[in-house]
Structure 1
Amino acid sequence: MHKLFLLDGMALVYRAHFALIRNPILTSKGINTSAVFGFTNTLLDLIDNQGASHIGVAFDTKEPTPRHEIFPEYKAQRDAMPEELAAAIPYVKQLCRALGIPVLEVPGYEADDIIGTLAHRADEAGNIHTYMVTPDKDFAQLVTETTTMWKPGRQGGNHELLDVAAINQQWEIESPKQVIDILGLWGDASDNIPGVPGIGEKTAKKLIKQFGSMENILDSTDQLKGKQKENLENFREQALLSKKLVTIMLDAPVDVHWNDLALGNRDDAKVKSLLTELEFNAIGKRLYGADFTAGRGHQTNESSTDDTDSEPTEAPQLKTIDDVPHQYHLVDSVQALDSLTKKLSIANRYCFDLETTSLDPRSCDILGIAFSVKAHEGYYVHTGPGSPLKLVMVLEKLKLVFQTKLEKIGHNLKFDLSVLAMHGCEVSGPFYDTMLVHSLVYPDRRHNMDFVSEAMLGYTPVKLEQLAEQCKEPEKDLFASEEEPKPKKKKGKKKELNMSLIPVEALAEYAAEDADVTLQIAEKLRPWLEKIEQEAIYQNIEAPLIPVLTAMENEGIALDIVALKAIGDSLGKRITGLTEDITEAAGKAFNLNSPKQLGEILFGEMQLVEKPKKTKTGQFKTDEQTLAALAPKHPIVADILEYREASKLKSTYVDALPNHVSQRTNRVHTHFHQLLASTGRLASSDPNLQNIPVRSEAGREIRKAFVPRDAKHTLLAADYSQVELRVMAALSGDESMIQAIKNDLDIHSATAAKVFDVEIDQVSSEQRRSAKMVNFGIIYGISAFGLSQRLGIARTEASEIIETYFKQYPGIKDYMESTVEFAVDHGYIETITGRKCYIRNIDSRNGMLRKGAERAAINAPVQGSAADMIKLAMIQVSELLDKEQAKSKMLLQVHDELLFDLDLSEKDRLVPQIIHTMEHALPLPFDIPCKVDIGTGNNWLQAH
C-alpha cells in the first residue's frame, strides 16, 4: 500500500515558530529561522524515517474562501501574522520545491480543504494510506480506516498517530464524522466560529454522545432544561452555520494528480544554497555529510570551515574586528578626557566597561574604562601603568556623567559598579544590563558577551588569547599564575591573563570593542524585551536591584573565626564518633565516602532490604532519598546520614569560609545572581550563604559564626512568615485559606483542623506536622507517594489526606489544574507581577518528565511571586535606608529573609519602618496581608 503524507503547511510553520519563541534560532544577521528549521526537520523525518512514497504540503491563500461568503466575520479577529513568520514562509516553500515536494495552493481554499479533498480521493482510489500531518484538531473529522492523523511531537517528542479508534476514544464518539457536530456546538474562538453560547468541549461531547448529531439535539430540545435548552433553541441557526463553517470540504477544485504527489528528485544546488543562506549546518550535514558547512549556525554552535561541495556557495562567516569599519580612540590626555566627558554628557545613553587587574571587585585595580555612545565607535580611557592620567583625577571628572540620569549600559554591570564603588565612585541609574536583559529574553541560552554578540550581531569579539600575539614581552608567559593580576573577562580559565604585558594600543582596541559591541547588543535586545512583555519586570525589579546587590556584596558580613574553629572542632569529634559507630555496626572498616562500598555493606552484607534498588551501572542506590526512607528503621543508616551532613558542613563551610575573608575588608562577600533561576529567585555563590542548613542543629550552629560589625551593632533578621502559603492563597483565591490568613490563624493548625475534622485547639502536634507537610508539599505538586514517604505513612492514607485537603480548599485544586493547562497551552506561567517562567517538558510524552514539569508549573508562580516580593522589598528598604541616612546596612538575602547590620542607636526608629516596607512591598490580591517576623542577636543564629 502506498503512503501519502499531506502536510498542513501553515499549522506546522506556526507551530515550529512558536515552539522556539523563547529561544529562537537566529542567523548571524539576526534573522529568525525557527519556523523553517522546525518545519524542515519534520519534513526530512517523513522522508527519511516514515517511508513516504507520495507527499504534498498544503498552504492557505490570501483570497476569501466560501466560508467568508456565508459568514464574513470568519477569522476576522485574528491577529496579523508576525513579520518574522511571514518572512519565513517563502523559504519554507522554496525548500519544499528544492527537495522535490509539491506545494499545494488553491486560491480561495484553505489547506484543510485541499488535504480533505485529496485524502477523500485517496480513500476512494484504494491501496493508499493517507497521513495528515497536522497539530490541528479539526482534521479528526477526516479520519477513516485509510486516513490517519499524524500529529507531530512537541519539543523533540515522538509523533502521535490518531486512527479511528483513537479519535473515537479521544472525542468520546462512535464515528470521527461526529467531530464536526462537536466543533459546531463548541465553536472556535481562534477562527471566530460562534458555536452555541454556554456550550464548551465537555458539554458538546456529552450532548453528541446522548443524541448522536447536532440536528438530533436541535430537534430534541424538549428533553433539555434551563439555559442550555434556551440557548440551543435561540441559537439554532447559529449552531447550524457553525457546523457548516467547521466542516472540511471534500470537493475543493484541487488540480493535482497522483503522479504529481510522487516524491521527486531534489535539486541539490538549490537545497545547499538555501541551507547556506539560512545557516542550517545540522540539516546540511544530515543531508550531505560532515563536510557540509553553512557558516556559524547558532542552533548547533558549529564553527565554519570551507565548503567542499563541487558547486560551492559562499558561506556567511561571523564578522570580526578586521571586517567592520570602526573608530576606536585611546584617551590618554586631560584634553581628550574633557572632550569625551562632554560627549558623554550630551548623549541620551552610553555604554561603559572596566578593564581591571582582577576578578575580585574589592581588591582589583582599574587599568582603564571604555565607553561607547554610537555603534562602531569607542573610547578607552587609559589609567593603568604608564598613563599620564591618574585614576583619582579621571574618576573625579567622570563623576559628572556617572551621576547624571543618563542611561548606563553594560554587560554584568554589577561588577563594574562594585569596582567603582570600592574606588569611591558611585554610579546613578537607570541601568541597562545586557546580561540580565538577555537572561529574560532568552533564559535557556548562555549569556556571556561573546556568545550573545555572535548570536545577535553575527560578530565575534576579540579574544584575550589573541592579545598574546601582541605581548610586550613575548618571552614571558602572558597567562600568569594565580598570584598574578587577573582579567575581568573570559572566566573559566585555570590560568589568568597578566594584563600588564599587553600593549596599551591593543588593550584600548580590545576594551573599546567590548563597549561598542555591548551598546549594539542593547539596541538589538530592546524590541525583544518589549515583545515578550517583560519590560516592567526589568525596569521595576531587576534594574533597580542592581545597585542594591552591589552595595550588599561590597558591604559583606563579619565572620568570627574563633567561633567557627570551635564549631569545626565539635564537628570533627562528631565525625570521628560516627565513623566508629558505623564501623562497629557494619562489622568492618570501609570507606564511608564511597557509594559503592557503602551499598555493598548495607545491601550486600547486611541485607537491610529484600529488594534493594540499583543504579543504571548496577551499583546499589545510596542517595539521600533512598537512605532517608530507611533511617527510621535502621540506626546505622541514620548515623550515615548524620555523618554525611557533618562532613559536608565541615568541608563546605567550616574549612572553606575563612578562605573567603577579604584581606582588604576582613569580611566575607558573597556574590548574588539575579536571574540564575527561571523564577527570578536570587542565588548566592563564592561562598554560597543561602544553603546553610537551618533544619538541623549542626547546620544552625554554622550561623553562630556570622556576627555584627562591632559592639555598636546587632544583627537583625527580618523573615517573611509563610510567604509562599500567602502567595498560594492569593493565586488560587481559595476562600477558606484566605480567611484563615486574615484571621491570623496558625495556617498549619487551621489546615489540620479542616483535614482531620477537629477543632483548631484540639489539633495534635502530629496532625499539625502532617498538615504542614501537605501545605508546603502542595506548593511543589506533591503526590500521594511523595507525601507517604515524607510522613512515613501508607500511600492510601496519604492519598486520603490530599483528597480531603482539596475538598476543604477547592480553590487550590482549581488553581493547580488551570495553571498546568495554561503552561501546556503557552509554554510558560506568570507570577503576580507578570514575570514569565518558562516550563520545559510540560507536554512531553515521557510521563516522568511531564509530571516533573507539571510540578514545576504549579510551584513556579508561587516561588516566583515570593522572589519578586523580596526583590521589591530589598529595593524599597534600600531606598528607606538612604532616605533615613542610616548607618545600618542590609547584608544578606536568604530565601525569605533579609539580614541587617543594625546600628543600635537606630533600632527603635528603623525596625518598624523596615517591617512596614517589607509587608507592603508587593500587595497581594484579595488584600491578603503579609507578615514579617524579626529577631536580633549577637550572631545570625540568635537573630534568626
Structure 2
Amino acid sequence: MEKKERLLILDGNSLMNRAFYALPPLTNSDGIHTNAVYGFTTMLLKMKEEIAPDYIVCTFDRSAPTFRHNEYKDYKAGRKRMPEELAEQFPIVKDLLYKLAIDIFEIDGFEADDLIGTLSKFAEEKGIEVYIVTGDRDALQLASDTTKVVITKKGITEKEIYDRTRMIEEMGVTPTQFIDVKGLMGDSSDNIPGVPGVGEKTAYKLIKEYGSVENVLQNIDKISGKKLKENLTENSEQAIFSKKLATIMREVPIEIDLDSIKSKENYDEEAVKRIFIDLQFKTLIDKLPHSKDFKEENNEIKVEYKLVQSINELKNLCNIIVSKFKNSLLYVTFKLLNENIYSKSSIEKIFINCGEENFIVSLQEILNENNEETISCLKEIFENGEIQKVCHDIKMPHTILHKMGVDLNGVKFDTKIAAYLIDSSRGDYDLNTLIQQYLKIILKDEEEREVKEVSLLKEVYSELEKQIKSLDMEQLFYEVELPLTTVLASMESYGFKVDKDMLTHIGEKFTKEIEKVQKEIYSLSEEEFNINSPKQLGKILFEKLDLPVIKKTKTGYSTNAEVLEALEGKHPIIEKITYYRQLTKLYSTYVEGLKNVIDEDGKIHSSFNQTVTTTGRLSSTEPNLQNIPIKYEMGREIRKVFVPNNNVSIILSADYSQIELRVLAHIAGDENLINAFKHHADIHTKTASEVFRVPIEEVTKTMRSNAKAVNFGIVYGIGDFSLAKDIKVSRKEAKEYIDTYFERYPNVKKYMDDTVKKAEKDMFVTTILNRRRFIPEIANSKKMVKALGERLAMNSPIQGSAADIIKLAMVKVYNELEKRQLKSTLILQVHDELILNVYKDELEQVRTIVKDSMENVMPLSVPLEVDISEGENWYEAK
C-alpha cells in the first residue's frame, strides 16, 4: 500500500503554554526567558522526527476578539493574563519557525483551534493523513480515521495519540459527540457555561445514552433525578449555545497552498543554529535533522595532539614547557574523577596547549608507573610561577594538586570565573558552552572534545579578558576572585576536624529532644499521629483543633512553613510542630548527614562554590555549613562537633559587625548613618531612638528589637506589609516606622529610589567593585515580580559589596599567614564570619593579622569592625 502523505499541525499557543509551565524558569546570558521556546522546539523536533511529515504548519491565536466573543461577551472571561515571561517568548519562537521555513497561520476573529480544524478538514479532503499536536483536549473533536490528535502530557515528555477508534474505545463517544459532552458539562477554562449541576461523569453518561445534546433535551422525561431534570429544562437553550461555543469551526476563510506548507529540508540551518547559540540551547543543535557544521564543517576541527602516557614522555613534556614556555602562556584544563568526594577525587587527565602543540597527559597511568617522579614533574610545571597558566575552573584541580603535595602558582586567568563575573545569572559555565557563545563553534560530544577545548582556550581567554576590562572588573577579577581560588583550594584540602564522640552524644540528645517534643504534640492533639504526614497533620490542625484554614492544595490542607507562621499564637501546638520540624531536619542533615561525609582523616572537606550565587556570596556543599539554623539552642549545639586540628590548636572566629548596614551607609552616603557608625553607636538603639522618637536612654528591649528588624528590612527593600508581619504590629504602624526611618536617613531613601531607576534603565546593578547582577524581573509587567526586582535592585549592591569585602579579606588574611609562614590557616567562611584553625603559640600574631586585614580591607566612609573570639570548638568560639 502506498504511504499516505502527512500533515503535521502544531498548536502554537497550547504547546508554548504547556512548555512554559512544565519547565523551570530558564534565561540566557542576556536575561531573556527561554523555557517555553526550549520546550516548544524540543517537541517540534521530536514530532518531525517521529512523524516525518510531508507538510507542516503552526497555528497561533491573535489578541483580537473572535466571533465567539462577539456572540458571548463572557467567553474566556476570568482567564488570567499571559505572564510577561511567556509573552516575550512568542516573537522568538515565531522567528525560529520562520528560519525553519515552517508556515504560520493566524488570523483576526478566529482561534488557533478553528485554523487547525480548517487545515485538518482541507487535508482530509485531499487524502492527506493529519497529526495535530496540542496540549488542549478540545482538539479531540477533530479526531477521525485519518486525523490523529497528539495530546502532550506530563510537561513535554509524554503524549497520547487519539483517532476516532480510540476515542470510542476509551471514552465511549465519537469525536463529534465529544462536543456534545462539552455542551452539557461546560468548560471553566473557556468560561463556557454548560448546564449547572452536570459534571463530566453525568455528561458522558447522557451522551452515551442519547447521542447528542438535542436528543438529551428531547428525552428529559426519561432521565432520572428531579434536580437534573430541572437543570436540563431550565438551561436547554444554554446547553445548545454551549455546544455551539465548544464547536471548532472548520470553514475559516484562509488560502492553503500545499507547496507553501511543504516540509522543507533546505531551511536556513546556520541561522537556526545561531538562534540556538544565542539562546544557549546547546543540546538542541545536534537534534536538527541534518546538522551541518556551524564553523569549519561543524568542528571538523582537526587538532593534532600527542599522548603522554609514560614517565619518560612526561619528563620530555616537562623539559619542553620549562625551556620554551617560561614567561609565556600555557593553556591547561583537567578531567577529574569523583570531584564531589574529596577522598576519592583525582585528576584523570591533563590537557595542555603550548604554542601550536597539544598534549593529553594520562596522569593516572603515569602515577601508577612512578608516583614519585610524576609528582616531581608536576611540581616543575605547576609550582613554577614564571610559567603563566590560563585555565578553566581551576579551583577543584588546585584542591586535588594540593592534596598531592603540589602547589599551583602562576595562574594568570580562569575563564570560568571570568564568565561568571560577566553574567552571574547563568547556571552553566563549562568550557564547551563558552566556546559556543564566544567563538560560535559547536564541538561534538566526542572522545577528543577536551583536547579541542584546550586548543580553543586561547581564543576564549582573549574574548573574556577584553570583557572583564571593558566592564571595569579588573580589580574584582585579579585581586578578589582569581586569588580566592587558591584560598578555597587550601580550605577544602585542609578541612575541618569533627569530634565523632561528640557527634554521637549530640545525636542522642537530639533523639531524646525529638521524642519529648513528639509527646508534647501528641498531648496537645490528644492522639498519636504521623507528624511528618501533611495529610494527617492537616486533619489534626483544621478538623480536630478547628484552626483557621490558611491554604489548600489538590491533596488537602497545606501545612507548610508559611501556613504554620500564619497560625502562630493561635494554638500552642503550632510552636511545637515548628520546633519538631527544625529538630528533625537538623538531625537528618547534620547529625546523620555529617557521619556520611567524614573523611578517613577525621575531617569534613566542604566544597566551596564560587560561581553559583547571583549575589557573589560563596556557597558550600558536601556538607553545607552555611545553613546551620541557630534560632534554637539545639541548632547551635551542632557547632560543638567542629574542633581544632590537634590539641595544640584552637578555633578562632572573626565576624564582621553589621557589615551590610555599614555598606549601606557608605553607598548611600547618608551622613546621619555614617556618623552613627563613626561614633561607634549601637546602631539598633540609635535607630530605635530615631524611629520611636524617644531619647536613647529610654529605648526598651522591644523597641531595639523592632528597630533591628527595620534596619535589616531596609537593606532588603522591605515594605510595610512584611515589616508588620515580622514585628507583629499593624501595617499602619509599620509604615510609620519606615517613613520615620527615611526622614532620619534621607540619603538612604534617595539611594533606594535612584538604584531602582537605574536598574530599570540598565537591567542590572553593580557593587562597589563593579560586580554586576542582572535583574530582568524589574521590567516585568506583573506587579509582584516587578516588586521583587525592585527589592533585588536595592539589596544586591549591598549584599554583593559585603561579599566582595569578605572575599578580599579572605585573600588578605591567607596571603599574610603564608607570607609569615605560619601554621595557622583559614578553614571555613560563613557569610560574614571567618573560621581559622590557630596554633596556640601563634594566637596573638594571628588575632592581629586577622583583625588588621579584615578591618582595613577596603577604604569606606565608615569603619569596619570585627569581633574576634576563640574556643575549644566552633560553638565556644562563637
TM-score after normalising by structure 2:
0.68
Q: What are the Cα deviations for residues 31-90 of structure 1, in whole angstroms up to 9, with x where unaligned?
A: xxxxxxxxxxxxx999963569xxxxxxxxxxxxxxxxxxxxxxxxxxxxxxxxxxx9xx
- Please say if 1:590 is aligned against 2:572: no
Cα deviation digits, residues 863-921 of structure 1 (max 9, x gap) = 00000000000000011101111111111000100001111111122212210110011
Distance 1:314 1:427 in 2: 41
Moved more, 843-852 or 363-372: 363-372
Match of residue 476 from structure 1? none
> How many residues matched?
647
Match of 1:22 among 17, 30, 33: 30
Q: Would the aligned equivalents of 2:640 and 2:874 in 1 still touch at CA under 8 Å? A: yes
Counterpart check, 1:762 vs 2:770: no
Q: Are 2:670 and 1:734 aligned?
A: yes
**Inter-partner Cα distance in structure 2 for 1:303 and 1:456:** 16
**Aligned partner letter, 2:505:** A
Question: What is the aligned counterpart of 1:351 among 331, 341, 345?
Answer: 331
For residue 295 of structure 1, report the CA deviation from its aligned partner.
10
**TM alignment of 1:779-790, pairs within 5 A:** 779-790=715-726
> What is the 5 A alignment of 1:6-405?
22=30, 49=62, 275-279=268-272, 298-299=280-281, 301-305=283-287, 307=289, 315-316=292-293, 323-333=300-310, 336-345=313-322, 346-347=324-325, 348-359=328-339, 360-374=341-355, 377-385=357-365, 390-402=370-382, 403-405=384-386
Contact 1:704 1:942 in 2 (8 A): yes
Given the alignment, which residue of 590, 599, 602 partners 1:653? 590
In structure 2, do the counterparts of structure 1 residues 731 and 574 end up closer, same or farther at CA, with 3 Å as the change threshold? Answer: same
SS in 2 for 1:715: strand
How far has the Cα of 1:268 moved from its partner?
8.4
The aligned amino acid for 2:429 is H
Q: CA deviation at 1:567?
A: 1.3
Q: Tell me, in whole angstroms, the C-alpha distance in 2 between the residues paired with 1:726 and 1:900.
A: 24
Are residues 49 and 807 of structure 1, via their aligned partners in 2, closer, same or farther at CA, if it must alter by over 3 Å? same
The 8 Å contact of residues 310 and 365 in structure 2, kept in 1 or not, is answered as no
Corresponding residue to 1:937 among 842, 850, 871: 871
Q: C-alpha separation between the residues in 2 aligned to 1:462 and 1:521? A: 17
Structure 2 SS opposite 1:49 = coil
Q: Which residue in 2 is equivalent to 1:715? A: 651
In structure 2, relative to structure 1, the CA distance for the partners of 1:937 and 1:305 (3 Å cut) is closer
1:505 matched residue in structure 2? none
Does residue 358 of structure 2 align to residue 422 of structure 1?
Answer: no
Match of 1:837, SS state, is: strand
| Structure 1 counterpart of 2:616, from 673, 680, 683 | 680
Corresponding letter in the other structure for 1:384: Q
CA contact (8 A) 2:720 2:734 kept: yes
- The yes-or-no answer on 1:601 pairing with 2:581 is no
Are the structure 2 counterparts of residues 25 and 793 from structure 1 closer, same or farther at C-alpha, using a change threshold of 3 Å? closer
Measured in 1, the distance between the counterparts of 2:672 and 2:441 equals: 57
Does structure 1 retain, via aligned residues, the 8 Å contact 2:307–2:361? yes
- Corresponding residue for 1:512? 451
- Cα distance change, pair 406–763 in 1 and its aligned pair in 2 (3 A): same
- In structure 2, what is the equivalent of residue 776 of structure 1? 712
Q: Deviations over 1:375-407 (max 9, x none)?
A: 7x4212334347795232133234233222333
1:74 matched residue in structure 2 = none
* Runs of 5+ unmatched residues, structure 1: 1-18, 27-43, 53-87, 101-262, 283-293, 308-312, 468-508
Is the 1:724–1:862 contact (alpha carbons within 8 Å) kept by the matching residues of 2?
A: yes
1:288 corresponds to:
none
> What's the counterpart of residue 689 of structure 1?
625
Report what 1:640 is aligned to. Answer: 577
Shift of 1:459: 5.1
**Deviation at residue 661 of structure 1 after TM alignment:** 1.1
Shift of 1:682: 0.6
Normalising by structure 1, what TM-score?
0.63
Give 1:344 shift.
Answer: 2.7
Q: Percent identity?
A: 32
Amino acid across the alignment from 2:422: V
Q: 1:787: Cα distance to partner?
A: 1.0
Q: Is the 8 A contact 1:361 1:418 kept in 2?
A: no
The change in CA–CA distance for 1:280 and 1:454 in structure 2 (over 3 A counts) is closer
* TM superposition shift of 1:24: 8.1
Other-structure match for 2:144:
none
Q: CA deviation at 1:736?
A: 1.0
CA contact 1:591–1:597 (8 Å) conserved in 2: yes
Q: Structure 2: how far apart are the matches of 1:296 and 1:843?
A: 21
Correspondence for 1:479: none
Q: Is the 8 A contact 1:373 1:519 kept in 2?
A: no
Contact between 2:506 and 2:638, CA under 8 Å: does it hold in 1? yes
Q: Which amino acid aligns with 2:719?
A: S
Q: Secondary structure at the match of 1:898?
A: strand
**Judging changes above 3 Å, is the alpha-carbon distance between structure 1 residues 584 and 21 closer, same or farther for their aligned structure 2 residues?**
closer
What does residue 617 of structure 1 align with?
Answer: 554
Q: Which amino acid aligns with 1:932?
A: V
The answer as to 2:530 corresponding to 1:549 is no
Change (3 A) 1:657 1:729: same
Contact 2:497 2:644 in 1 (8 A): yes
Aligned-residue offset at 1:839: 1.2
Q: Which amino acid in the other structure matches residue 790 of structure 2?
A: E
> For each residue in 1:437-474, what CA deviation from the matched residue of structure 2 results, as whole angstroms up to 9, or x when unmatched?
222234324123444444444556565xx66xxxxxxx
**Offset from partner CA, 1:788-844 (integer Å, 9 cap, x none):** 111111111111111111111111111111111111111111111111111131121
Q: 1:892 corresponds to which residue?
A: 828
Match of 1:572 among 511, 519, 522: 511
Residue 320 of structure 1: how far off its partner (Å): 9.3
Report the aligned-residue RMSD.
Answer: 3.7
Q: Does 1:928 align with 2:862?
A: yes
Q: Which amino acid aligns with 1:843?
A: A
Q: Determine if the alignment matches structure 1 residue 447 to structure 2 residue 447.
A: no
Q: What is the identity, as a one-letter code, of the residue corresponding to 2:724?
A: S
**Which residue is equivalent to 2:777?**
841
1:12-43 Cα shifts (integer Å, max 9, x gaps)? xxxxxxx97735899xxxxxxxxxxxxxxxxx
**Which residue of structure 2 lines up, in the alignment, with residue 438 of structure 1?**
419
String of CA shifts for 1:651-696, please: whole Å, max 9, x gaps.
0001111221111x22111110112111110101100001111232
**Cα distance, 1:710–1:276 mapped onto 2, change above 3 Å:** same
Give the superposition deviation at 1:275: 4.3
Conserved in 2, the CA contact under 8 Å of 1:828 and 1:837? yes
3-state secondary structure, aligned to 1:580: helix
Q: Is the 8 A contact 2:331 2:391 kept in 1?
A: yes
Q: 1:601 to 1:281 in 2, by over 3 A?
A: farther
**Change beyond 3 A, Cα 1:650–1:270:** closer
2:832 and 2:288 map into 1 onto residues whose CA distance is 55
How far apart, CA to CA, are the structure 2 residues paired with 1:639 and 1:438? 46
Q: Contact 1:352/1:409 (CA < 8 Å) preserved in 2? A: yes
Letter aligned with residue 816 of structure 2? L
- C-alpha separation in 1, matches of 2:603 and 2:682: 39
1:813 aligned onto 2:749: yes
